[in-house]
Amino acid sequence: MNAKELLTLLIPLLITFLYKTLEHLGVIDILTGRKHLLKAYEYLSKPYGYPTNWFYAKKDKVRFSSIYKILKRYCKQKKFKDLLSDNTHPEIISVGGEPIAMRGVPASLPQHIRAYYPLSSTVILLVYNPNPSIPIGENHNGKGLEVCTLEELKNWIDKDKKKLDYWISTVGVFLFLILLARLALIYFFSS
């Protein structure tokens, strides 16, 4: 086996190893935008209240777009899909639900420390503004749409991660095995 064949054999293995190392170090999360998505989810899932739990399309572009992308990819709700097909986009992403106070935690602590949102019943809300000339919050007739729960959003985030892992790790190993079989056949028939 010459150096070229050995390198060809090792490339998929090295790619998989490099990916897993970069993933462990958090570099993959930065490169794929997942770091912003996880931070945005953290803000939504803790009862910080207004304005921290409100992501505006124009002011909070990174947090807003990271959540909106995952919703567009996984949310199957008909009304949401209809609005997407009509090219109607929300101006705000927020949460709806009442935080639950933890017993024994002093009331003097900030709300996000002394309370939590139940993941299965706290909803993600999209706020649509039918009259963009009137800012949200100033007597407009905006419409809210519940698209999912925090739990569903977390499951979609995890699913997205597993998909990326599959394509890089599994496909990389598969290519490695194909190359290994190819080299074994070359070696077998050249003997």
Q: What's the pLDDT tens digit per position in 81-100?
A: 988 888 888 989 999 888 88
Alpha helices in the chain (DSSP H): 3-24, 27-32, 34-45, 61-74, 78-85, 111-114, 150-165, 171-190
Is there a contact between 67 and 34 (Cβ–Cβ < 8 Å)?
A: no
Q: What's the pLDDT tens digit per position in 27-79?
A: 988 888 889 999 999 999 988 877 788 898 988 999 999 999 999 999 999 99
**Beta pairing partners, 55:** 93
Alpha helices in 25-127 (DSSP H): 27-32, 34-45, 61-74, 78-85, 111-114
Q: What's the pLDDT tens digit per position in 128-166?
A: 875 666 665 555 566 889 999 999 999 999 999 999 888
Q: What is the pTM of this model?
A: 0.77
C-alpha–C-alpha distance, residues 52 and 35, integer Å:
17
Confidence (pLDDT) at 61? 93
